[in-house]
Structure 1
Amino acid sequence: MGFAIEKKIFILLGLMVLFPAVCTSQYTPSRATYYGSPDCYGTPRGACGFGEFGRTVNDGKVAGVSKLYRNGTGCGTCYQVRCTNPQLCNYDGVTIVVTDYGEGDNTDFILSPRGYSNLALPNAEAELFAYGVVDVEYKRVSCQYSGYNVKYKVHEHSKYPHYFALVITYAAGQNDITSVELWQEDCKEWVPMRRAFGAVWDMANPPRGYITLRFQVISSAGNTYWVQSTNAIPENWEAGAVYDSKIQLND
């Protein structure tokens, strides 16, 4: 009888220690601010190179980040950000997509106005904006793009056929794209593209004809694998054009 009681007490104490860890360890404390925008959306000139996608994706709830930028690998990742002031902010906060690099006053996030306002309780947006910088906590979450495959955008700086630059968008889940390669048919080998900046990959004198691509992914579980799409980019590709990969990424 005494052993059973001691066992129950031990289990209860163990749960009391474990429960706070489960509830709080997922979030990281930080600070957030916002940047100006004439229409409250993001900016098409972000350091990730997303262009219009970076302005309007996720209904404009986007952010520039500092250490989470990770030399461009963090471009396109998603985070749940919530303000820790219960008088001004709602509990759920906002899910944002990283589309830019930015440094603030000890902040990890510089949010678009749409993103920042979604931190607030109803009718508390103006007071929250008056603060300028707020304490937040955040965690990485899966990006959700219902109905969208991964898309390849030929960057506007591309010059057919001598210079090819590429941006990969709509990569769902918690996946990091760490390498991109083109198939060189005459040499029968994969040739790596260079990360030019942010999420922009480029190559001088790309292979002629249609372009076969593959990209390397690190999943949320830490697994590394290659994803390949055949005939993804047509022979006569154009700068600014967007092509469907027919691929969907998930967790």
Structure 2
Amino acid sequence: MGFMNSYCVAFLCIIVLLPALCHGGDYYSSRATYYGSPDCLGTPTGACGFGEYGRTVNDGQVSGVSSLYRGGSGCGACYQVRCTIPEHCTEEGTKVVVTDYGEGDKTDFVLSTAAYGRLARPYMAEHLFAYGVVDVEFKRIPCKYSYNLLFLVQAHSRYPGYLALVPLYQPGAYDITAIEVWQEDCKQWRPMRRPSGAVFDMTDPPLGALTLRFQGTVYGYGDSNFWVQLTNVIPSEWKAGYTYDTGISA
């Protein structure tokens, strides 16, 4: 697989540059509402398939989205969202991570209670909750975590015949739109299927440590695509429920 090593430096450079390329930009107008939960955080049953991560990531400041869901490829994206009522809303608003699909009254965002409350100035949150739906402005921003990008082997994976992966702590401002696995005996890349949300799966994956590559798509810059290769990122005896570190960070 020597031919693949030539890609790595260029791909990692792209990863480093993406936050700089995608930071800033124009705000877009939309509307936002919220959903309730007992602890004001996210939900572990969201459409992205994140499980408990989808409940607690970003301190529970998460959102379901409608058009921004993009068939699941929008899962894990980060947005700056601010409401447009000066007397009630802060100028910066809040940063949210997409963990679910959700539709409201002509809304792009269905925010967790924690995220919706962060839109408000001090002592003004009750006014926003009384509105139920508010006009907002939003823009895509790079995700930044204290963790590297991880791949979670979903709990219903069954070694060695069925593998389902979910990317967690996705850095930068790109969508993961495809994942492929290197099949050494055939000297070819095998695409994984996206059955739902951020979940990618495959029956009869190759034996041994798995080399993956994922396609990142950057929207707003000619919808440019790039590939990042991760050699032996999943160990030969992978286990359901475990996460594996890619070494890629924001």
CA RMSD of aligned residues (A): 1.3
Alpha-carbon separation, structure 2, partners of 1:36 and 1:223:
37
Alpha-carbon separation, structure 2, partners of 1:94 and 1:214:
32
* Residues 171-219 of structure 1: per-residue CA shift (max 9 Å, x gap): 2111111110011121111100011111100001111111111101123
Deviation at 1:235, TM superposition (A): 1.3
TM-score when normalising by structure 2: 0.86
Deviation at 1:223, TM superposition (A): 3.3
Matched, 1:111 2:120: no
Q: 1:228 corresponds to which residue? A: 229
Matched, 1:244 2:250: no
2:87 partner SS: coil
2:135 partner SS: strand
Alpha-carbon separation, structure 1, partners of 2:32 and 2:177:
27
1:179 partner SS: strand
Matched, 1:42 2:47: no
Matches within 5 A, 1:62-77: 62-77=62-77
Code of the residue aligned with 1:140 in structure 2: it is: R
Query: Contact 1:232–1:245 at 8 Å: present in 2 too?
Result: yes
Alpha-carbon separation, structure 1, partners of 2:87 and 2:103:
27
Q: 1:201 corresponds to which residue? A: 200
Alpha-carbon separation, structure 1, partners of 2:172 and 2:149:
11
TM-score when normalising by structure 1: 0.86
Matches within 5 A, 1:169-184: 169-184=168-183
Alpha-carbon separation, structure 1, partners of 2:72 and 2:47:
8
- List structure 1 runs of 4+ shifted beyond 4 angstroms: none
Q: 2:86 corresponds to which residue? A: 86
Work out the number of aligned pairs and report it.
224
Alpha-carbon separation, structure 2, partners of 1:153 and 1:194:
16
Alpha-carbon separation, structure 2, partners of 1:86 and 1:199:
36
Alpha-carbon separation, structure 2, partners of 1:63 and 1:69:
10
Moved more, 216-225 or 203-212: 216-225
2:55 partner SS: helix
Alpha-carbon separation, structure 2, partners of 1:163 and 1:70:
25
Code of the residue aligned with 1:142 in structure 2: it is: P
Instruction: Specify every segment of 5 or more residues in structure 2 that has no aligned partner in the other structure, as ranges.
Output: 1-24
Alpha-carbon separation, structure 1, partners of 2:56 and 2:131:
25
Alpha-carbon separation, structure 1, partners of 2:225 and 2:102:
28
Deviation at 1:111, TM superposition (A): 0.2
Structure of higher CA gyration radius:
1
Alpha-carbon separation, structure 2, partners of 1:242 and 1:113:
28
* Residues 106-138 of structure 1: per-residue CA shift (max 9 Å, x gap): 111000011000000101112211111111111
1:90 partner SS: coil
Alpha-carbon separation, structure 2, partners of 1:83 and 1:243:
38
Alpha-carbon separation, structure 2, partners of 1:164 and 1:46:
20
* Residues 209-240 of structure 1: per-residue CA shift (max 9 Å, x gap): 11111101123544322111111111111111
Deviation at 1:159, TM superposition (A): 1.3
Matches within 5 A, 1:49-198: 49-145=49-145, 147-198=146-197
Query: Contact 1:182–1:193 at 8 Å: present in 2 too?
Result: yes
Q: 2:32 corresponds to which residue? A: 32
Instruction: Specify every segment of 5 or more residues in structure 1 that has no aligned partner in the other structure, as ranges.
Output: 1-24
